[in-house]
Amino acid sequence: MAENTSENQVQADANGAVALPSFFGVKAGMTRIFDNEGNQVPVTVVKLISNYIAQVKTQDKDGYEAYQVAYYEKRPKLVNKPMQGHLAKASIEKSLVRLSEVKVAEAISSENLGKEVSLDLFNKDTIVDITGISKGKGFQGVMKKFNFRGGPAAHGSHFHRRPGSIGNRATPARVFAEKKMPGHMGMEKTTVQNLKVVELNLKDGYMLIKGSVPGAKNGFLRISTAIKKAQ
Helices and strands (H, E) in the chain, number of each type: 3, 15
Q: Mean of the pLDDT values across residues 114-131? A: 94
Asked if the model's pLDDT at residue 8 lies above 50, the reply is no
**Pairing state between β 11-12 and 18-19:** antiparallel
pLDDT at 10 over 70: no
Report the mean per-residue pLDDT for the chain.
91
DSSP character at residue 136: P
**Identity of the amino acid at 226:** A
pLDDT exceeds cutoff 90 at 50? yes
pLDDT tens digits, 30-47: 999 999 899 999 999 999
- The tens digit of pLDDT for each residue in 76-112 reads 999 999 999 999 999 999 999 999 999 987 778 889 9
Instruction: Name every residue whose Cβ is closer than 8 Å to that of residue 32 and which is 6 or more positions away in sequence.
Output: 40, 41, 42, 43
Integer CA distances (angstroms), 14 to 17, 59, 118, in order: 7, 28, 10
Domains of the chain: 6-136+185-225 (2.40.30.10)
Per-residue pLDDT for 55 more than 70? yes
d(CA 64, CA 106): 12
